[in-house]
A and B are shown apart, each in its own frame.
Chain A
C-alpha cells in the first residue's frame, strides 16, 4: 500500500514540476517586467516558446559531432531526474530513498558538464568562453553546495533530502546560526547555478558578460527547447530545494493523505510564488557584477558554508 502511495505521490510530483517549470520562469520574467514598468509577456510565454521550438528542426554546424546531438538530451534528462528527487508537496515519494543531496549535486554537475561540452564542441569562440567561465564558477560553487550539505547532514544525521526536510519540519532543532550561514551560501550557489543576476544575466546576449547563453548560442530548434527546458527545470528544482530545506511548513506526511496533499500543494505554490517574487525583486534591485568578481562572490559563499559547518562542529561538541 505504501509503495503504491509512494508511486502515486511521485507521479503527481513529476506532473506538478513539469507544469511549474515553465510557469516559474514566465512568472519571474513577468514580475521583473512589471517592476521595470513594462507590460511584460504573459507568464505562459516560455511554454509557448518551448512548444514552438520543439516542432523546429535543429540547425547544426558542419563540424558538429555526436556531442552536440546528444548533449541536450542528457542535460535535460539530468535536470528532470534531479527535479524528481526534490520533494515538493508531500514526503515519502517512491524515489525518496535515492534523493540524496549528493546525488542531486552530481546530477546538476552532469547537466553542467553536458552544457560545457556542447559549448566547446563546435569550436566557436563564445562557446569555449562560456564553458570555461561556467567551469571556473562551478569549481567554487560545488564545494560550497557540498559544505552546506555537510551542515545539514550533521544536524539531521543523513544526507537524504527527504529525511532532512522531515527533520527540519519537526522544528525541534530550532534556529541555528549554521543554518543561516548555509542559507546564504546556498542562495549564492543557486544564483550561480541558474545563471541569474549578479553572476550572469539571463536576458541578454551581451558578449562580454554572458556565460549560460554563450554555451547554448549554437543550439537551435528542439535542442534549444531542451536546453531552455533544462534551465527552467533547474530553477524550479532550486526553488523547491530551498523551500524543502528552509521553509518546510505544510508539506504533507508520507502515505495516503488527500487533505494533507491539498494543504501541501497550496503551501508549495505559495512558497514558489514568494521565491519568484524575491528573485524578481533581487534581480531588479542589483546590477550584474564583473566576471572577475564572481569567483570572489562564490569564494565568499564557500567560506560561509565552511564557517557554518565549523560552528556546527563546535555546538555539537557543546551539547
Chain B
C-alpha cells in the first residue's frame, strides 16, 4: 500500500485527524471546549478503527470501533460534563506552561516520535504501519504533555485518556492484534475513568480546588 490508494489515504488521514485533535486539546483553554475536542477525537479514533477493520477484513476491529465510540465519544465526555456541572467549573484552564510554549513542545515531540519510529522500523513493515505508528506515538506523547502542562485535575484526566487513544490507534494499525488485548485496554480505560473521577472528588474534598499544583505544597509538611 502506498500513496494514491484510497485504503492508505483514508487511514493516513484519520490518523492525522486524531493527531490534529491532540493539538486542539492542547490549544483550548476552556474545559467545555476541551471535552468537546476529546469527544471528537474519540469519534475519529472509532472511524479509524472501523476503517482498519474494513481494509484488513477483521471483524474484531469493528467491535473495537464500537467500544471506542461508545466509551470515548459518548460516555466519558458525558460523564465529564456531569462532573463539571456538579463541581460548578466552567472557567478557563490554568496551564503550567503557556499555550504557545506547549504547542511548540508538541511539534517537537511529533518530530521526536517520527525520528524514533522511522529508523527502527526501516525496511520491515509497510509504509502505512510505519506512519501510523509515528502518528500514534505522537498522540501518546501529546497526551503526556497535556498531563504535564495542565494544573487542573480534569484536564489531566483528559490527557491520560487521549494518551490511551494513541495506544488504540497504534493497536488497530497493526495487522493481527488479538481482540482480547483491545477489550482489556478498553475495560482498563473505563476503570481509569472511574478511578480518576473518585480521585478528582477526593482532591476537591481535601483541597477545595482542582488545582493539582497545591498537592506539591504538602510535601514534607
Binding site for B on A (CB under 8 A): 172-177, 180-181, 184, 295-296, 299-300, 303-304, 306-307, 310-311, 314-315, 317-319
Q: How many A-B residue pairs have CB under 8 A?
A: 72
| Residues of A close to B134: CB separation below 8 A | 314
Known: A175-B10, A177-B15, A180-B17. Is A300-B118 also a contact (CB below 8 A)? no
Can you report 10 residue pairs joining A to B where beta carbons are below 8 Å apart? A172-B4, A173-B3, A174-B9, A304-B20, A307-B23, A307-B107, A310-B110, A314-B134, A317-B118, A319-B127
Alpha-carbon separation in the docked complex, A307 to B134 (Å) = 13
Alpha-carbon separation in the docked complex, A318 to B8 (Å) = 14
- Across chains A and B, which 7 residue pairs bring their CB atoms closest together, nearest first? A177-B16, A175-B9, A174-B4, A174-B9, A175-B13, A303-B107, A174-B3
Residue in contact with B12 in the complex, picked from A175, A296, A300, CB distance below 8 Å: A175
A314 and B118 contact, CB distance less than 8 A? yes
Residue in contact with A310 in the complex, picked from B15, B17, B111, CB distance below 8 Å: B111
B13 and A310 contact, CB distance less than 8 A? no
Distance from B215 Cβ to chain A, minimum over Cβ atoms (Å): 28
| Residues of A close to B16: CB separation below 8 A | 177, 180-181, 311
Alpha-carbon separation in the docked complex, A311 to B99 (Å) = 22
User: Which of A175, A184, A319 lies at the interface centre, i.e. has the most chain B CB atoms within 10 A of its CB?
Assistant: A175
Minimal Cβ-Cβ distance residue in A for B14: A177
Binding site for A on B (CB under 8 A): 2-6, 8-10, 12-13, 15-17, 19-20, 23, 27, 99-100, 103-104, 106-107, 110-111, 114, 118, 127, 130-131, 134-135
B4 and A300 contact, CB distance less than 8 A? no
Alpha-carbon separation in the docked complex, A182 to B3 (Å) = 17
- Extra inter-chain contacts (5) besides given A314-B131, A318-B118, CB under 8 Å: A173-B4, A174-B8, A180-B13, A181-B20, A303-B103
A299 and B100 contact, CB distance less than 8 A? yes
Minimal Cβ-Cβ distance residue in A for B107: A303
B110 and A307 contact, CB distance less than 8 A? yes
| Residues of B close to A295: CB separation below 8 A | 100
Known: A184-B20, A300-B103, A303-B104. Is A314-B114 also a contact (CB below 8 A)? yes
| Residues of B close to A173: CB separation below 8 A | 3-4
Alpha-carbon separation in the docked complex, A172 to B4 (Å) = 6
Alpha-carbon separation in the docked complex, A74 to B67 (Å) = 59
B114 and A180 contact, CB distance less than 8 A? no
Distance from A297 Cβ to chain B, minimum over Cβ atoms (Å): 8
Alpha-carbon separation in the docked complex, A310 to B13 (Å) = 15
